[in-house]
């Protein structure tokens, strides 16, 4: 259990590390200087992180690892808040690993908050990962949404697209995100209630149009993205909606 004093100290030193960061370049930024108080704090927390990673490696069940990651994450929250408050380019394995964990245990809002910081400051993924931060976020969250439509909110998928739109990644990874967004728009079209007070202009047809665009973008990026049936279904829905308007 981290005391309130230690939480404050961790956050303060993380802010200090950011205030002494070098100007941002296209390369990944350096970690906090080892001979500084912030660097020493970072080294201690990084050692704790690696202990946690070894503990997780001993758990065979992915499902059982998820609550442990959520529990471990509490240790690093004050440091991460300080890093974000400093808003400076400092390579931080603690922050990026907690982003990965948050996706695993389902706190996608937190994962996206950390991911936004990591992308804006060009942080690198831990060395065992081959994907960039942007690619990891786009592909992992898209796959979660495609497996379970209730696991990722529509606005979260939109945030992922906005966050990773300019990032370089394999076409197949981005196609998964467009596919997930297309299916989310399609569900909104199918569930549209024209009598609702907040019903937008254009209604179900506008939602279906967005879905169609997402599916076509996925198909253009990856012929094997598995959206051809989705396109047929959404075209059928658009025709039905058009016929309803004409009648």
pLDDT of residue 35: 77
SS3 155: helix
Mean pLDDT over 143-169 rounds to 97
What is the C-alpha separation between 1 and 81, in angstroms, rounded?
18
pLDDT of residue 31: 75
What is the C-alpha separation between 107 and 99, in angstroms, rounded?
9
22-62 pLDDT per residue, tens: 444 456 777 777 778 888 999 999 999 999 999 999 999 99
What is the C-alpha separation between 243 and 238, in angstroms, rounded?
9
pLDDT of residue 25: 47
189-230 pLDDT per residue, tens: 999 887 776 667 678 999 999 999 999 999 999 999 999 999
Whole-model pTM: value is: 0.86
Name which residue leads in pLDDT, 138 or 35.
138
Q: Say which residues have a Cβ less than 8 Å from residue 195's Cβ, sequence separation at least 6.
A: none
Mean pLDDT over 91-107 rounds to 97
SS3 193: coil
Q: What percent of the chain has pLDDT over 70?
A: 86
Q: Is the dihedral of CA 56, 53, 150, 241 positive or negative?
A: negative
Q: Among 123, 125, 130, 28, which Cα is nearest to 83's?
A: 123
Which segments of 20-36 does DSSP mark as H helices, in order? none
Lowest mean pLDDT among 6-10, 54-58, 70-74, 202-206: 6-10
pLDDT of residue 26: 54
Lowest mean pLDDT among 1-10, 95-104, 211-220: 1-10
Q: Is the dihedral of CA 170, 175, 181, 184 positive or negative?
A: negative
Contact (Cβ atoms closer than 8 angstroms) between residue 185 and residue 211: yes
φ and ψ at residue 44, rounded to 5 degrees: -65, -45
């Amino acid at each position: 259990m981290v005391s309130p004093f230690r939480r404050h100290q961790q956050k303060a030193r993380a802010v200090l590390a950011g205030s002494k960061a070098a100007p941002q370049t296209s390369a990944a930024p350096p970690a906090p200087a080892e001979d500084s108080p912030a660097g020493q704090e970072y080294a201690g927390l990084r050692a704790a992180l690696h202990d946690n990673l070894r503990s997780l490696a001993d758990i065979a069940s992915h499902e059982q690892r998820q609550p442990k990651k959520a529990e471990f994450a509490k240790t690093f929250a004050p440091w991460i808040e300080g890093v974000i408050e400093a808003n400076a380019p400092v390579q931080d394995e603690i922050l990026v690993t907690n982003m990965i964990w948050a996706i695993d245990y389902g706190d996608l809002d937190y994962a996206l908050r950390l991911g936004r910081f990591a992308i804006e400051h060009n942080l690198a993924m831990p060395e065992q990962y081959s994907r960039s931060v942007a690619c990891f976020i786009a592909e992992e969250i898209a796959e979660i949404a495609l497996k379970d439509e209730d696991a990722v909110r529509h606005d979260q998928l939109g945030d992922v697209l906005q966050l990773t739109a300019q990032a370089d990644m394999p076409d197949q990874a981005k196609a998964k995100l467009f596919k997930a967004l297309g299916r989310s728009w399609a569900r909104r079209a199918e569930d549209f209630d024209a009598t609702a007070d907040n019903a937008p202009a254009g209604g179900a047809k506008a939602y279906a149009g967005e879905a169609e665009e997402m599916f076509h973008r996925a198909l253009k990026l990856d012929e094997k993205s598995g959206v051809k049936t989705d396109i047929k279904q959404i075209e059928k829905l658009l025709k039905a909606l058009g016929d309803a308007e004409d009648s």
